[in-house]
């Protein structure tokens, strides 16, 4: 694993998706005010939420495709011989994962979504074994499990008695489970693509997002969401700027993400994106001086220990053919 490329890709993913998360939360969890005239003539301020998940993901996919297309025009690459069915299948699972995780924000707070998605390496590994014919050592399973447990320990907040009584598995949590399942299927298909044709990261990014744009465009037209979104954007024009910024940060992140997938595999990417969430929270704790509980310190130590052990054993024990 070339350390320079790995650090470049990981750093790009960390920085771009850090800002991506801020903009995403601003769009999906923000309150959009409007004034309503009551029967007695008084004016009251009310709020509505952004619920146009398909349009949000569509904007991301269009910008991702355009950026990859421009990059391939500037840097031409060998012909991609990957079967179209693989890309179509990967696009469907990738789309469902994105749509489900974004829709979940309508029912669960952003930290809950982040914690839920932190388990991504587990389905990626399991389905990689079942469908992608991958093999991993027992140590790899242990280290991945340690990373996930450590992140969950660090990011989960203590709940009061009333909150515990109200907590239950609802629509948001089920959407997160479905999103994780789709992440695992996407990783398995990516492993198969890498094993058979070895396309570059830019090629995977361009064709996958082209398929996603097509599927979403048809769905938005058939569902009629485009009309509702147009009315919403007319009332709150600043949401368009936020969507464009979301698309740009997503495109930059995907440039690094697909490059890492093509060279290091989806499991490495899932570990990087998962630990990125941890370091984002840890960075805010350090910068703003927020106190950590004993459980959070335990989670931090578990994550760092797992990362160190995984890096050490990956270098010391190369995989046998």
Q: Which residue has the higher pLDDT, 288 or 30?
A: 30
Question: Average pLDDT, whole number, for the chain?
Answer: 80
35-45: average pLDDT: 77
238-253: average pLDDT: 92
The reply to whether 37 falls in a domain is no
Question: What whole-number distance in Å separates Cα of residue 185 and Cα of residue 126?
Answer: 9
Instruction: Give the per-residue pLDDT at 286.
Output: 64
First to last CA, the chain: 16
Tokens of 231: 């009315």
Instruction: Give the per-residue pLDDT at 221.
Output: 93
235-239: average pLDDT: 92
Range of the domain at 138: 3-31+49-159+168-316
Instruction: Give the per-residue pLDDT at 169.
Output: 58
Given a contact cutoff of 8 angstroms between Cβ atoms, the answer to whether 207 and 80 are in contact is yes
Tokens of 188: 């398995």
Instruction: Give the per-residue pLDDT at 59.
Output: 94
239-253: average pLDDT: 92
pLDDT for 42 beyond 70 = yes
The reply to whether 235 falls in a domain is yes
Per the listing, tokens 């910008």 go with 63
The reply to whether 224 falls in a domain is yes
pLDDT for 317 beyond 90 = no
pLDDT, one tens digit per residue, over 160-200 is 444 444 444 578 878 888 998 898 888 888 888 878 888 88
pLDDT for 78 beyond 70 = yes
Given a contact cutoff of 8 angstroms between Cβ atoms, the answer to whether 97 and 281 are in contact is no
pLDDT, one tens digit per residue, over 18-27 is 888 778 878 8
Instruction: Give the per-residue pLDDT at 2.
Output: 56
The reply to whether 68 falls in a domain is yes
Instruction: Give the per-residue pLDDT at 58.
Output: 94
* One-letter-per-residue 3-state SS of the chain: CCHHHHHHHHHHHHHHHHHHHHHHHHHHCCCEEEEEECCCCCEEEEEECCCCHHHHHHHHHHHHHHHHHHHHHHCCCCCCCCCHHHHHHHHHHHHHHHHHHHHHCCCCCHHHHHHHHCCCHHHHHHHHHHCCCCCCCHHHHHHHHHHHHHHHHHHCCCCCHHHHHHCCCCHHHHHHHHHHHHHHHHHHHHHHHHHHCCCCHHHHHHHHHHHHHHHHHHHHHHHCHHHHHHHHHHHCCHHHHHHHHHHHHHHHHHHHHHHHHHHHCHHHHHHHHHHHHHHHHHHHHHHHCCCCCHHHHHHHHHHHHHHHHHHHHHHHCCCCC
Instruction: Give the per-residue pLDDT at 111.
Output: 63
The reply to whether 280 falls in a domain is yes
Instruction: Give the per-residue pLDDT at 283.
Output: 61
270-290: average pLDDT: 66
Instruction: Give the per-residue pLDDT at 157.
Output: 58
Given a contact cutoff of 8 angstroms between Cβ atoms, the answer to whether 260 and 268 are in contact is yes
Question: What whole-number distance in Å separates Cα of residue 298 and Cα of residue 40?
Answer: 58
Burial class (CB in 10 A: 0-12, 13-18, 19+), 31: exposed
The reply to whether 251 falls in a domain is yes
pTM score above 0.85 = no
Query: Which residues is 48 bridged to in the sheet?
Result: 32
Question: What whole-number distance in Å separates Cα of residue 46 and Cα of residue 32?
Answer: 8
Tell me the pLDDT band of 282, cut-offs 50, 70 and 90: low
* CB atoms inside a 10 Å sphere around CB 35: 8
Q: Residue 33: what are its φ and ψ, rounded to 5°? A: -80, 145
pLDDT for 79 beyond 70 = yes
Instruction: Among 44-58, 120-134, 201-215, name the one with the lowest average pLDDT.
Output: 120-134
Instruction: Give the per-residue pLDDT at 318.
Output: 41
Q: Which residue has the higher pLDDT, 63 or 77?
A: 63
The reply to whether 283 falls in a domain is yes
Domain count, the chain: 1
The reply to whether 43 falls in a domain is no
Tell me the pLDDT band of 10, cut-offs 50, 70 and 90: confident
Given a contact cutoff of 8 angstroms between Cβ atoms, the answer to whether 155 and 115 are in contact is yes
């Amino acid at each position: 694993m070339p350390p320079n490329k790995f650090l470049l890709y990981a750093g790009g993913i960390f920085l771009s998706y850090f800002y991506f998360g801020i903009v995403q939360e601003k769009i999906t969890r923000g309150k959009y005010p409007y004034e309503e005239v009551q029967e007695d003539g008084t004016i009251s301020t009310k709020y509505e939420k952004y619920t146009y998940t398909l349009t949000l993901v569509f904007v991301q996919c269009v910008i991702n495709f355009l950026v990859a297309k421009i990059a391939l025009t500037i840097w031409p690459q060998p012909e991609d011989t990957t079967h179209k069915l693989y890309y179509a299948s990967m696009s469907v699972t990738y789309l469902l994962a994105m749509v489900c995780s974004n829709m979940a924000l309508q029912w669960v707070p952003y930290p809950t979504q982040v914690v839920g998605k932190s388990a991504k390496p587990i389905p990626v590994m399991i389905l990689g074994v079942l469908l992608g014919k991958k093999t991993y050592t027992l140590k790899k399973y242990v280290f991945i499990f340690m990373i996930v447990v450590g992140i969950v320990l660090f990011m989960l907040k203590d709940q009061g008695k009333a909150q515990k009584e109200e907590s239950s598995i609802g629509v948001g949590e089920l959407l997160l489970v479905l999103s994780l399942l789709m992440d695992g299927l996407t990783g398995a298909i990516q492993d198969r693509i890498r094993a058979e044709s070895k396309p570059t990261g830019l090629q995977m990014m361009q064709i996958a997002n082209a398929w996603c744009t097509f599927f979403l465009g048809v769905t938005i037209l058939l569902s009629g969401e485009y009309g509702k979104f147009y009315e919403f954007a007319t009332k709150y024009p600043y949401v368009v700027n936020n969507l464009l910024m979301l698309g740009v940060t997503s495109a930059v992140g995907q440039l690094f993400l697909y490059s890492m997938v093509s060279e290091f595999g989806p499991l490495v990417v899932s570990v990087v994106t998962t630990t990125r969430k941890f370091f984002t929270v840890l960075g805010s704790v350090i910068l703003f001086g927020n106190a950590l509980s004993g459980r959070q310190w335990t989670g931090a130590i578990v994550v760092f220990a797992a990362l160190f052990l995984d890096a050490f054993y990956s270098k010391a024990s190369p995989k046998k053919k």
